[in-house]
Amino acid sequence: GGVGKTTLAQLVYNDEKVEEYFDFKVWVCVSEDFDVVRVTKSLLESVVRNTPSATSKVWESDNLDILRVELKKNSREKRFLFVLDDLWNDNYNDWDELVSPLIDGKPGSSVIITTRQEKVAEMAKTFPIYKLYPLSHEDCWSILSKHALENDEYHDSKNIALEEIGRKIARKCGGLPLAL
């Protein structure tokens, strides 16, 4: 946690070129309590909200089959980007139930997942895994000095002690941008 997975996904999601490329985009926070019905409802609700011709309120149903049919119908022949943030569930059957309605999306449609667990990323199988690693001590110091001291080139002979303290703090953050 804190290495920047969600931040990186947000940068992609909010990029101007991404906005122009996809017919619609949907972001769903999944978290540890993975529920296929809840996530499918969230996707469907957002898809319908982004489709002017759709008026269905079917996402109020708890019937997974109905939700999946509606999601497939409303995302068919559209280029979409779905981000499933903070996915923990590594059950292949749950994953298959969630993504099977998305198969008929227009070529170029994409699903991005963020996860702390490599086995979750491997379970998705069809996506290349992009791993994020903790930052180096020098990168940590650069970020900390830039934000705390409003200067990324902090070298002042009068404040060597302050820089030493800052570098110790940067090391204690363990390379995690969120901690910095």
Pair 34, 105 in one domain:
yes
Q: Would you state the pLDDT for residue 6?
A: 92
Answer whether residue 129 is part of any domain.
Answer: no
Residues 102 and 37 in one domain: yes
Amino acid in position 84: L
- The answer to whether residue 86 sits within a structural domain is yes
**Whether 76 and 111 share a structural domain:** yes
Distance from C-alpha of 135 to C-alpha of 116, rounded to nearest angstrom: 16
Mean predicted confidence (pLDDT) in 46-53? 74
Do 161 and 112 share a domain, yes or no? no
In a domain, 130, yes or no: no
72 & 115 share domain: yes
C-beta separation of 66 from 9 below 8 A: no
How confident is the model over 4-25, as pLDDT tens digits? 899 999 999 999 999 999 998 9
With the C-alpha atoms ordered 9, 12, 14, 19, is the resulting torsion angle positive or negative? negative
Specify whether 82 is located in the same domain as 113: yes
CA-CA distance, 43 to 90, in Å (whole number)?
A: 19
* Residue 153: pLDDT over 60: no
Number of domains in the chain: 2
Q: Rounded to whole angstroms, how far apart are CA atoms 173 and 131?
A: 19
Nearest to 47 by CA among 36, 37, 58, 34: 58
Query: Across the chain, which distance is largest between two alpha carbons, in Å?
Result: 69
Phi and psi at residue 92, to the nearest 5°: -60, -40
User: What percent of the chain lies above the pLDDT cut of 70?
Assistant: 88
Same domain, 120 and 149: no
Please indicate, yes or no, whether residues 117 and 165 belong to a single structural domain of this protein: no
Q: Are residues 62 and 119 in the same domain?
A: yes
Where residue 120 falls among pLDDT bands split at 50, 70, 90?
confident
Other beta carbons within 10 angstroms of residue 28's beta carbon come to 20
Residue with more model confidence, 50 or 178 = 178
Q: Are residues 75 and 163 in the same domain?
A: no
71 & 152 share domain = no
Give, for 147, the enclosing helix (H) or strand (E): helix 137-149
Residue 172 pLDDT level (bands cut at 50, 70, 90): very high
Q: Does the residue 174 lie in any domain?
A: yes
How far is it, in rounded angstroms, from Cα 169 to Cα 163? 10
| Residue carrying the six token digits 């390379």 | 175
- CA separation, residue 49 to residues 3, 46, 56, 133, 164 (Å): 32, 5, 10, 36, 52
Q: Are residues 105 and 141 in the same domain?
A: no
Q: Which domain holds residue 154?
A: 137-179
Domain membership of residue 34 (yes or no) is yes
- 132 found inside a domain: no
